[in-house]
């Protein structure tokens, strides 16, 4: 029996699993996953250009006018859900402005983004912005959602704590300040002339199975006792929506240039940026760092993390439909290169880390490679070969890719490439 068959058998015997109450079953699932390239079973790579009738899209016009939207519908239904509605009103309230931030190198702003509904419901998201000091004219922006709060991505200790809706309050301690500073590398970004605009993903959807009632979805419906997966919506959908709401802020700002925005995200947020970048064409560069399964990696390779883990561990990240692909990946009519293709012809950047096998680095490369079919329709430069890339490879083009040594992270090495890409294309 190969490992795929073993997983099918295990799932048939455990159709209902709960990692929250049964850690032993979680360990068993992790033990079933495969990290051996030679054990991978043959799988079919479908073409995003192939229509339901079997013929292929032949022009950009046909792609944009019909096929592209069909693929978006597919991802809504099978993975990430519907796009949440817009609140009745959005206000931006300036909370602070520090003119001599980062030792005089930056201007720092803290904003409250306040969503209000006619029925009186409100939801507030704290936003943090750094602008290069002395900038003349509107500046290009690196935009993202962060994990543990705005206070964790800066070395400045007087930034207010955010991400308060998270159930894990350990993020809100003095020791957690600046723990994720390298993920945003603000000093590097500012030194190269870019602004940074960020908010915590927990302030759009607190990342746990019962996060619904404190999420933006509560503006639009009753989620008081809601838990886990939903028919129509997902937390990834809420995070992608949040990225677009930050973009709305950039659009009305007099200091930030909304025509030059690079969206970036790591891991689960690397998955979310791909969905946000697919839906919102205002993002000119979409950077997906170590995004793995349901991100840039090819699902049907079944290498590293699989749905049997992801959808059981994080049911709120996806719509309920996704569960039907657990131990049944081959039933998908799409794979993740379809998602990456939706970003064409805008710049796509995918980054892997050598030791991040959970995320399947080679699968991330192949997803990026296969997206080239749609990019080629636009005459864009694409990845030239499906062969595995040597660690240290850095490709800067319409489709960029790198694989650096080391573990699952977004660090200064990744930033060197992202800033070069931005210098070239923004």
Distance (Å, whole) CA 16 – CA 212: 22
Q: How far is the CB of 358 from ligand GCU (least distance, A)?
A: 6
Contact yes or no for 212/316 (Cβ under 8 A): yes
180 is catalytic: no
Nearer to ligand GCU, 270 or 372 (CB): 270
Site string for ligand GCU, 225-264 (x = CB under 6 A): ----------------------------------------
Q: Quick check: 267 binds ligand GCU (CB under 6 A)?
A: yes
Contact yes or no for 229/316 (Cβ under 8 A): yes
**Count of residues of this chain found to bind ligand GCU when the rule CB under 6 A is applied:** 6
Distance (Å, whole) CA 374 – CA 372: 5
Distances (CA, A) of 399 to 352, 356, 365: 14, 21, 11
Residue from 339, 353, 355, 235 nearest 286 by CA: 339
Q: How far is the CB of 315 from ligand GCU (least distance, A)?
A: 12
**Among residues 47, 178, 227, 408, which one is catalytic?**
408
Nearer to ligand GCU, 305 or 373 (CB): 305
Residues 43-62 that bind ligand GCU (CB under 6 A): none
234 is catalytic: no
3-state SS class at 32: helix
**Among residues 235, 244, 267, 352, which one is catalytic?**
267
Nearer to ligand GCU, 203 or 305 (CB): 305
Distances (CA, A) of 203 to 32, 241, 353: 34, 12, 28
Contact yes or no for 204/242 (Cβ under 8 A): yes
**φ/ψ (deg, to 5) at 175:** -65, -25
Hunting for tokens 């993390």 — which residue is that?
A: 305
Distance (Å, whole) CA 72 – CA 62: 15
Q: Which of 156, 280, 305, 356 binds ligand GCU (CB under 6 A)?
A: 305
Nearer to ligand GCU, 35 or 96 (CB): 35
Nearer to ligand GCU, 234 or 267 (CB): 267
Q: How far is the CB of 317 from ligand GCU (least distance, A)?
A: 8
Distance (Å, whole) CA 322 – CA 78: 5
Read off the tokens for 42: 């043959």
Q: Which of 148, 268, 284, 316 binds ligand GCU (CB under 6 A)?
A: 268
Q: Which of 246, 276, 310, 348 binds ligand GCU (CB under 6 A)?
A: 310
Nearer to ligand GCU, 186 or 236 (CB): 236
Residue by residue, DSSP assigns 150-170 as GGGS-S-TTSPP--TT-S-GG
Contact yes or no for 237/82 (Cβ under 8 A): yes
Q: How far is the CB of 305 from ligand GCU (least distance, A)?
A: 5
Q: How far is the CB of 97 from ligand GCU (least distance, A)?
A: 32
Q: Quick check: 218 binds ligand GCU (CB under 6 A)?
A: no
Residues 167-186 that bind ligand GCU (CB under 6 A): none
Residues 283-302 that bind ligand GCU (CB under 6 A): 292-293
Q: Quick check: 152 binds ligand GCU (CB under 6 A)?
A: no
Contacts of 122 (CB under 8 A, 6+ apart): 114, 115, 116, 219
| Site residues, ligand GCU (CB under 6 A) | 267-268, 292-293, 305, 310
**Active site amino acids:** 267, 408
């Amino acid at each position: 029996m190969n490992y795929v068959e073993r997983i099918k058998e295990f799932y048939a015997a455990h159709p209902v699993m709960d990692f929250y109450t049964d850690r032993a079953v979680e360990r068993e699932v992790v033990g079933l996953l495969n990290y051996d390239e030679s054990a991978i079973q043959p799988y079919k790579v479908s073409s995003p250009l192939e229509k339901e009738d079997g013929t292929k899209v032949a022009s950009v016009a046909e792609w944009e006018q019909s096929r592209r939207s069909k693929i978006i519908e597919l991802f809504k239904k099978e993975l990430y859900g519907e796009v949440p509605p817009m609140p009745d009103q959005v206000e931006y309230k300036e909370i602070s402005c520090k003119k001599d931030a980062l030792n005089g190198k930056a201007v720092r702003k803290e904003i409250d983004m306040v969503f209000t509904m006619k029925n009186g419901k409100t939801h507030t998201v704290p936003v943090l912005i750094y602008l290069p000091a002395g900038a003349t004219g509107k500046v290009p922006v690196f935009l993202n959602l962060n994990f543990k709060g705005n206070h964790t991505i800066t070395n400045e200790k007087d930034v207010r704590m955010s991400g308060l809706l998270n159930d894990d309050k350990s993020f809100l301690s003095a020791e957690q300040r600046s723990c994720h500073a390298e993920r945003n590398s603000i000093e590097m970004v500012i030194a190269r002339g870019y602004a940074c605009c960020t908010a915590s993903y927990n302030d759009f959807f607190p990342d746990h199975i019962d996060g619904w009632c404190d999420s933006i979805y509560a503006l639009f419906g009753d989620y008081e006792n809601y838990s886990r997966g939903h028919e129509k919506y997902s937390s990834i959908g809420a995070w992608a929506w949040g990225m677009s709401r930050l973009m709305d802020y950039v659009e009305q700002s007099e200091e930030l240039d909304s025509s030059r925005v690079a969206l970036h995200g790591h891991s689960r947020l690397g998955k979310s940026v791909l969905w946000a970048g697919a839906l919102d064409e205002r993002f000119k560069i979409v950077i997906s760092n170590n995004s793995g399964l349901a991100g840039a990696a090819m699902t049907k390779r079944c290498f590293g993390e699989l749905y049997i883990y992801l959808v059981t561990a994080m049911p709120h990240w996806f719509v309920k439909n996704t569960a039907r692909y657990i131990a049944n990946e081959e039933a998908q009519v799409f794979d993740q290169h379809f998602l990456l293709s939706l970003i064409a012809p805008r710049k796509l950047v995918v980054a892997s880390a050598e030791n991040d096998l959970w995320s399947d680095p080679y699968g991330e490369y192949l997803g990026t490679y296969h997206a080239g079919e749609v990019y080629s329709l636009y005459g864009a430069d694409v990845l030239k070969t499906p062969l595995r890339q040597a660690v240290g490879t850095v490709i800067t083009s319409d489709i960029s890719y790198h694989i650096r040594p080391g573990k699952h992270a977004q660090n200064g090495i990744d930033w060197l490439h992202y800033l070069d890409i931005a210098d070239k294309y923004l």
